[in-house]
């Protein structure tokens, strides 16, 4: 038979709100009743936890199955970016409505500090002879610069004054008399 002290220790272990001194004031039969109720409560909590774990496992299994069967199977080439979608000139590609712009900022290049390549949605470069554009540059220090983009050899170029500084570049490109806008934040040259 369990001693009164052992039952009190069990109750305090599983229900820390109970104080051992108060439990020792109860009779042995009262302690046994409290212990039985506590054991039943513990069993119910374990059953509930098991049910929750089973539901989590089922949800994870369904989620993994849904991700695995996304329709294309393995080797679905449409999901993988092709080398043509990557920046062909080492710049950053930004959306400009119907078109994309590849922005290349080269502070060390003396002639072309800012180059903008105009691309179709499929990333094919288009001729820039009939394209005009402007860029508004807002520097981190609050100054702004508005400059024209000049068509040169399949790209638009310009020479911002503070090209190595962090700035927000907002482009307006005019193609077939329609304006296309895009903005790009340049973090500037990093210091080592």
* Number of domains the chain is built from: 2
Quick check: 179 and 113 in contact, CB under 8 A?
no
pLDDT digits (tens, 9 = 90+) for 40-77: 888 888 899 999 988 888 888 877 665 554 544 444 44
Q: Which residue range is the domain that position 57 belongs to?
A: 4-68
Quick check: 146 and 133 in contact, CB under 8 A?
no
Shared-domain flag, residues 52 and 93 = no
Shared-domain flag, residues 58 and 95 = no
In a domain, residue 74? The reply is no
Shared-domain flag, residues 177 and 120 = yes
Token pair for residue 78? 């449409």
Per-residue pLDDT of the chain (192 residues; tens, 9 = 90+): 467 777 778 777 877 777 777 777 778 778 788 888 888 888 888 899 999 988 888 888 877 665 554 544 444 444 444 555 566 777 888 888 889 989 988 877 776 688 899 988 888 888 888 888 999 999 888 899 999 998 888 888 888 888 788 889 999 999 989 999 999 888 877 665
Contacts of 147 (CB under 8 A, 6+ apart): 134, 135, 137, 158, 159, 160
What pLDDT is stored for residue 191 in this prediction?
Answer: 60
């Amino acid at each position: 038979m369990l001693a009164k002290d052992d039952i009190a220790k069990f109750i305090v272990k599983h229900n820390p709100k109970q104080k051992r001194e108060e439990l020792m004031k109860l009779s042995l039969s009262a302690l046994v009743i409290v212990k039985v109720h506590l054991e039943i409560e513990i069993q119910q909590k374990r059953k509930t936890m098991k049910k929750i774990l089973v539901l989590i496992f089922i949800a994870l299994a369904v989620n993994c199955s849904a991700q695995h069967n996304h329709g294309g199977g393995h080797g679905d080439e449409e999901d993988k970016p092709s080398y043509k979608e990557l920046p062909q000139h080492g710049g950053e590609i930004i959306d400009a409505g119907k078109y994309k712009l590849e922005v290349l900022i080269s502070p060390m290049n003396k002639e072309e500090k800012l180059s903008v390549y105009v691309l179709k949605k499929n990333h094919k470069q288009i001729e820039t002879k009939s394209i005009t554009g402007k860029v508004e540059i807002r520097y981190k220090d609050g100054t702004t610069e508005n400059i024209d983009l000049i068509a040169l050899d399949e790209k638009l170029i310009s020479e911002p004054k503070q090209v190595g500084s962090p700035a927000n570049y907002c482009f307006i490109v005019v193609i077939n008399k329609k304006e296309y806008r895009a903005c790009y934040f340049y973090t500037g040259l990093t210091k080592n």
